[in-house]
Structure formats: structure tokens, C-alpha cells
Structure 1
């Protein structure tokens, strides 16, 4: 048996050994911290790379989308150039002029009942606003003021005069802009379910679509999400108590138009800038002098705006329709047509 001499192998102990024992966990913790920091840096770099690739992909996707303003077979109307922008319009009847301006989104089809009611006695013109329906102009600014300028240029290009201008929803803001400016080509205004005052709630997705460089690509990527079920839910909410007045195929006809990337892009820009535009216009409502008729359903979410607007525009006539939602032109076409005719 081998005995270990007292002066043999040293084993740490005492104060010195305790300090070494404490240093080992500290070193392990330091190494773990360094590894975690390295992993975070690598993850950050990967996320930055992914973000850059996503931006590049969306930019490429957006550049691949070309504006298509062609009027498909079976759709009514023709184009007229307003500046360099092809604007699609539908015209029916002869007589005094009535001009119809749709909401956001929308198209000339939104006025079919009124075209049918008024065309026996009036020359009625409905058009697709820039970026909507089968009009060009996706690259134009999409503000009420810019749209008002396009509407006025269209009126002049078609030789219309002494017109009654009717604006529905967002189209009502366009009518208000023109009423403040008082162009001689328009004699009076009818506002239908118009939003006239801020604030205007904006969904985050619409703000994202307005981002520079990636907006159109994002709008293209979102097209499947803006499907028929989402549109159907929004339309039914707008019809409200008048859902039975919704024509057969209403959503089926509009979904392919409303989900075009250029349309999503246009309506997103409109929604984002809507509140600011209304805030700039509202102080001038008291300066409006042409005759104005304000029409709104009592179930329309813009009802309070209509009542307030009726107080602020001198001499305005306010008509609140009972048991009626946002789409007055479908729910009460006969009453709306009579109000438009009376605006002359």
C-alpha cells in the first residue's frame, strides 16, 4: 500500500480554494452572456436582412403591377382624357345636367338606380374617380381637392353646364370642396351620406399601403385578404336596415374591381388623408353660397355629420330618411331622385 506523504500533491483549500471555486461560475456566466449576446446580434442581422429582402420584394412586386384602365366587355361607358388621365364615364338621357360622384371605394355602377330614374328627364353623367373602377390616375394625389379638380375638368371636357352635382360618401367631400370654390359650371349640390368632419378612423393596413416604395407591392400582396367575404361584410354593414335593397350580384360585380391593387392603393391614400382634408375644409362651410341639399339615412354612421352640416351651411336643406342606411341610392332611389330634381 502506497502512502501519500504530507508534503505530497497540493489540494486547494482554505481562502484561496474558495475564491477559485467562486470564480468558475462567474466565468461560466460570462461565457453564457457572450454567447447570448452573439445570438442576439446574429438574430438582429438576420431580421435586418429579412426586412431588406421584404422591402426589395415588395418594391419589385409593385413595379410589376401596371394600371389597367380598360373597360371590359359588358361594362358601360367610355373614356375621356382629363389632362393625361383616362377617366371612364357613363352618360344617359338628355336635358339639364346631373353629375354623380361615387364614394371610396366605388364606381359609376353605384349610381345605376339614379341613372334609371333621372335619365328620362336629365342628361346624367356618372364617372369613376381617379384610381377607381376603370379610370386611370392611380399615381395622382387622392385628396378631395384633387378629385374635385378632376370632376370640374371632366365637366368642362364633356361640355356640361349648370349642373346639379351629387356626391355620395367620400364623393360628398368632393362636392363640398367644389361648393366652397363655386365654379360656374355647377348650380347646386346634393350631399348623400357625406362624412364632413374629422376624425376619420384609419385601419393600420391602409397606412401601411401608403408607405413609399413598398405601398403598391403591399397592396398587391393584400389583394387575397381583401376578398369577397370582407367586402360582403362591409357592404352589408353599409346597407344596414336596407339589406333587402341590395341588388343580386352587387358584391360579385364589385369585388374584382375593388380588389385591384391600384384601387386598394387609391382608397388607402384617401382614407389616410381624409381627416386632414376635412379639417381644412370645415372652417369654410359657412362660406358656401350655392344651394345645398343634405340627404342622410337615420341609420347611417354619418348621420351626426349631416345634422351639423345642415346647421353650418347657410340655407342648406337637411333631409333625414327614416329606416335608411348609407346606400340611399339603392334603398330610396325614388326619394333621392326627387330631391336631386328639386335641387334645380
Structure 2
């Protein structure tokens, strides 16, 4: 945690002690400065009393401006803010003059002037302005500056927290959009096999159980190991192969030279779209090619699938682009500008390439890396 964050937390937990500490430090600095300029002639008790009384007027101006004038100014009540500033400034300057004339000077052995009545103190505007106003306002503005700085840091911290919570909420919504869609497709596959009493039904259920275990229990965090995602894709491919038999050709190659972490279900979403839209019944020999490579700097994932003639005519574009739009939102939330998602389409082939830079490497990985 940074030093400003520590100060903010201390102030939040100990609001009044932090204010008292601020003015005590200011008083000690003021007393030290007064003793230096006075050559140590006055006693420490006198300096504490006189400076303490004077600082009380600075506190009056500081809190008045910070908690009364500025809020009115922010609300665009400029006349009220200006009137409040004049009243507070005048009261602080007049009170400072009264403390000096009626208390501090008698304590120092200086007899009060006969002409210095309360009426003269309150009406001697030039003296209040040039002798007291600027010094009192300087101290008040320093306090106001620190308060505004604290408020700004708190606002920034709250804004970052809200943005983080919003991003996490959006990410969960995007994942929830993916999971039911995947389950629907997979259950349809198993249902189709069960209708013909295929011996592949049991392996399909086992494969689905492995996939659900990964989705339900291993995807809670923001990142998972690439090895686990590769295993998930392999299970999914085998499950889909049972459905399409020999009609569909699937090529999956991976070259992982450095085990890394990746956002969960991203790759599965791309593979799922390729199967959904690249293995339709209007194709004679559908084919899906998947290549994956990873090192300590860059992760690259490509999925290509053939496009059916009827699908291309019916949609006039790749029908999975809505899903890719949601996927892009998810990538934006996680990787920001450290990724690229390129889509290439021609008459017979649709290719999606995902590249991630500055990928998180996994250290001390003991299990063998999948290479195929």
C-alpha cells in the first residue's frame, strides 16, 4: 500500500486525532519560528499562549472556508460563497486583533493603547486587511489545499474501486453468457447419440463431466493455467468428434515452450464457434484447424474453419460474430491493449487469430508441457 493510501486510511480511522495532530505540528513550527525571530526573549509559555490564540483564528478561517465556503462554491452558489468568505475572513481577522491587543500584549508587558477600543478594532479595515488577512488566509489555504487533495485521492480511489467492481460484474455476465450456450450445444450432442443408442454415449458423458469440472470448479479466478485450457479443448474436440465421426477433420497442434496463465474459457469460446459454424450439414468435407503457441513473451492462438455455402448465403457474414463481439468485451476487460483479435474471412474459410502480449508466465511448473 502506498504512502498516500496509508495516510487516507489513518485519517479515515482517526479523523479527529489526525486534525489535532496537524494543528499541533503547526503550533510547534509556529512557536519555533517565533522564538527564532524574537531572539528567545519571550518565554516558551508566552509563545505557546500567543501563537495558540493566533492559530485558533487561522483554524476558524480554515474550517469555515473548507466546510462552508467551498461546498457552496461547488454547488454554484457563488453569492453565498463570496458572502461567507467575507464574513469568515473579517471575523477571523478581528478576533486575531482582539487576542493580540487584549491578551497577548498585556501578557508581554505592553499596555493597551487608550484609543484601541473594540469599535476601533472592528472598524480599522486597512489594519485588519494588511496586517492579519493575508497571514491568516495563507494558513487557511494550506489546510484547504490538503483537504482538497485528500478529497481528490478519496474520489480517485472510489472511482477505481467502482470501475474494478463494474469490470468484474461485466466479466461474470460475459462468462454466464458463454457457459449456458456451451452446455446447450454439448447436451444436444449427447442427446443425438442417445437417440441412436450409440456406444459413444458413455464416453460423451464422461467427457462432459471433465469439462463441467473445469468450468464449475477451476474457473473462479481471473486466470488459469494454459495447460488446463488445452486439456479442456482436447476434451471438447474428442466430444465433438464422437458426434461427427469421420465426416469432420480436426487438426489441433500446440507448441508451448513456456507454461503461462490465460483467462479461462476464452479459447474454448473460439473453438466452440468454429464447431458450431464450421461443421454444418451443407458441407461435404468440413475441416477445423487449431494451432497454439506460447512462450514467455507472446501467446498465439488460431482457429480456422470451412464455411458452408448455404450458411454463407443465408448470413452474408460469419454467424458467430455476435459471440466474438462478447468475447472481445471480455478480452478488453482483462487484457486492455495487450491483445489483438483478428478476423479473416473469404468464400470458403473463416479464421480467428488471438494474440496476447505480456502474458503471465507460470514459474516452477513441474508437469510436462503439452506439445502436439
TM-score for the superposition, normalised by structure 1: 0.29
Greater share of helix? 2
Indicate the structure whose relative CO is greater, using CA pairs within 8 Å and at least 6 residues apart: 1
